[in-house]
Amino acid sequence: MTISEIARLANVSIGTVDRVLHKRGRVAPDTIKKVMTIVDDYGYQPNTFARNLKLNKEYRIGVLLPLLHSEYGYWNLIYDGILKAAKELSPLAVSISVAEFDRSNPDSLLENGDKLMQEEPDAILMAPVLPDASRAFLAKHPQLDYAFIDSPLPDMNPVSSVVQDPFRGGYMAARMMHLLSPQEGTYLIIQTHKTAFNSHERARGFKSYFTGRPGYKRLELEMQTTNGGEIFIEQACREHADIRGIFVVNDAVHRVATFVSLLGRKSQTILIGYDLIDQNRKAMLEGKVDCLISQRPNFQGYTAVYQLYRKEMLGQTPEKTICVPIDIVLPENLTDEESFSTLPNTYT
């Protein structure tokens, strides 16, 4: 079904059909009805190739993420996925512009968001780790489509949110902790961004697993990037001889792991953390980390880009929420690379 076929069937010109389809007015009500009937009956879908050829427009996605080169490699994994999608979609006139912000400074989000808007993006892909600033930024551009990754932002209307249930992730981590170190004792929970939704929920999920198991105690600890959080860990280990495991709610687990190994307490301590960043991969291979929960960060970035593209370029309506499965990574299923790249050819 093409516009000219519709025009022929309706005994009007293609210009009229076009005016009906785009609601540009100047068409008699009867003619509109006649055309729309045919459109509906035949299920007309505009030809994507013709449409985009004529419009001849780049679709630019503005990406707004926390500092990529911070010590939290997680954001780089997300960025990898975004880049991969952008590369695949570049022949389809999709491009990205990137801006970073300092997640410890809400003003930074607004400033860099404004800078990003100067590139005139058609949509925004962002991680709403700073809820208020994120809302404020989006409120300034009410017509803009946007998608969220990493965490949701309630009461907003994104094209799509690609997220993982953090409570469930923490609960899963606790289950693995229990499996890997069944003996009763104390578990240490370490956070770095205590106010962050994901961190908080993961810790809550972890604790929730052990509710009703009185033999297992939990001890919470906050560790800043800047301070020597190591001191507190050492202190906790001294004061609690029965520490069986440490759960770090984000990708910083390798730092804790290295320190625990240094203290010589690795053999009696199970370490569980988040995300397959290189340092965590390495720490796991060295036996310093026992289990990682992955939230498939590259998948998140990759998928969010595709969802925005499908909405805009193909006119499809993406799933409002894409819930990323909670991946359990143990040394036995730790592969060299994530599914986004080629693996050594073991099949010959």
Partner DNA sequence: TAATAATGCGTTATCGAACCCCATATATTA
Partner DNA sequence: TAATATATGGGGTTCGATAACGCATTATTA
Binding region for DNA (CB under 7 A) = 2-4, 7, 11-16, 18-19, 21-22, 25-31, 44, 46-47, 50-51, 53-56
CB closer to its own copies out of 42 and 238: 42
Residues of 187-210 as b/e, b for ≥16 C-beta within 10 angstroms? bbbbbbbeebbbbbbbbebbbebb
Least CB distance from residue 43 to DNA, whole Å?
Answer: 12
CB closer to its own copies out of 62 and 158: 158
Least CB distance from residue 329 to its own copies, whole Å?
Answer: 8
CA distance 202 to 169: 6
- Extract the tokens encoding 4: 């000219």
Report if residue 318 touches its own copies, rule: CB under 8 A.
yes
Q: Choose among its own copies, DNA, none what residue 327 binds, the Cβ cut-off being 5 to 8 Å by kind.
A: its own copies
Sole window of 10-18, 31-39, 227-235, 335-343 interacting with its own copies (rule: CB under 8 A) = 335-343
Q: Token match 């055309």: residue?
A: 35
Report if residue 235 touches its own copies, rule: CB under 8 A.
no
Q: Report CA-CA distances (Å) from 19 to 29, 39, 279.
A: 12, 13, 58
CB closer to its own copies out of 88 and 222: 88
**How many Cβ atoms are within 10 Å of 108's Cβ, its own excluded?**
18
Least CB distance from residue 312 to DNA, whole Å?
Answer: 12
Report if residue 330 touches its own copies, rule: CB under 8 A.
yes
Note the residue count of the chain: 348
Report if residue 238 touches its own copies, rule: CB under 8 A.
no
Q: Is the dihedral of CA 224, 174, 214, 241 positive or negative?
A: negative
Backbone angles phi and psi of 10, in degrees to 5: -95, 0
CB closer to its own copies out of 28 and 323: 323
In this structure, which amino acid lies at residue 129?
Answer: V
- Ranges within 276-315 binding its own copies (CB under 8 A): 299, 310, 314-315
Reduce the DSSP state of residue 237 to 3 states and report it: helix
> Residue 265 half-sphere exposure, CB side, CA atoms within 13 Å?
21
CB closer to its own copies out of 90 and 118: 90
CB closer to its own copies out of 53 and 231: 53
**From 4, 105, 224, 321, residue interacting with its own copies (rule: CB under 8 A):** 321
Sole window of 71-79, 97-105, 225-233, 325-333 interacting with its own copies (rule: CB under 8 A) = 325-333
- Sheet containing 291-294: order of strands: 216-222, 185-191, 243-248, 270-274, 291-294, 327-329
DSSP string computed for 175-205: HHHHHH--S-EEEEEEES-TTSHHHHHHHHH
CA distance 163 to 166: 9
Report if residue 184 touches its own copies, rule: CB under 8 A.
no
Least CB distance from residue 76 to DNA, whole Å?
Answer: 34
**From 92, 231, 262, 285, residue interacting with its own copies (rule: CB under 8 A):** 92
Sole window of 6-14, 18-26, 158-166, 250-258 interacting with its own copies (rule: CB under 8 A) = 158-166
Sole window of 26-34, 118-126, 128-136, 336-344 interacting with its own copies (rule: CB under 8 A) = 336-344
- Assess contact for 85 and 301: CB atoms under 8 A: yes
In this structure, which amino acid lies at residue 294?
Answer: S
DSSP string computed for 127-180: --SSHHHHHHHHHT-TT-EEEEEES--TT---SEEEE--HHHHHHHHHHHHHHH
Report if residue 274 touches its own copies, rule: CB under 8 A.
no
Q: Choose among DNA, its own copies, none what residue 22 binds, the Cβ cut-off being 5 to 8 Å by kind.
A: DNA
**How many Cβ atoms are within 10 Å of 30's Cβ, its own excluded?**
8
Contact set with its own copies (CB under 8 A): 43, 45, 47-50, 52-53, 88, 91-93, 152, 154, 161, 163, 165, 167-168, 171-172, 175, 179-180, 299, 310, 314-328, 330, 332-333, 335, 337-339, 341-348
